[in-house]
Amino acid sequence: MDKRQAPRYKVRLPITFLGYNLTGEGIVVNLSLGGCGIESDQNVQQGKELTLRISMPEQDAPVVVDRAQVRWTVRGLFGLEFLTIGSEEEERLRRFLSTLEAG
């Protein structure tokens, strides 16, 4: 059963993430208002909290998610739930996702 509250879209977006004693890079492979999936060589632990910087096409600055928590990990891939995101950043993310929804 899928517990997601918002639809997820397949994407390929560069991301940097940082947390306590951890800095890494990867590719966002799916994205929603509530979370994302990331491919990365960096080992992360389930439960870890991270700050995210997601690079969006045609935007000068990355979308910043202040707090995201790792919900699952599988070799080279992990899923995050967004816990804290500023209202302006959330609106930028919402606008980007609406372009994907429109096709």
70 domain-assigned: yes
Compute the mean pLDDT over every residue in the chain, rounded to the nearest whole number: 93
Q: pLDDT tens across 25-65, in order?
A: 999 999 999 999 999 999 899 999 999 999 999 889 999 99
68 domain-assigned: yes
4 domain-assigned: no
26 domain-assigned: yes
Whether the pLDDT of residue 85 is over 70: the answer is yes
How much is the pLDDT for 102?
79
- How many structural domains does the chain have? 1
For residue 78, the domain's CATH number is 2.40.10.220
Segment 76-96 mean pLDDT: 96
pTM of the model: 0.91
3-state SS, the chain, equals: CCCCCCCCEEEEEEEEEEECCEEEEEEEEEECCCEEEEECCCCCCCCCEEEEEECCCCCCCCEEEEEEEEEEEECCEEEEEEEECCHHHHHHHHHHHHHHHHC
Whether the pLDDT of residue 81 is over 90: the answer is yes
Task: Give residue 89's domain range.
Answer: 9-102
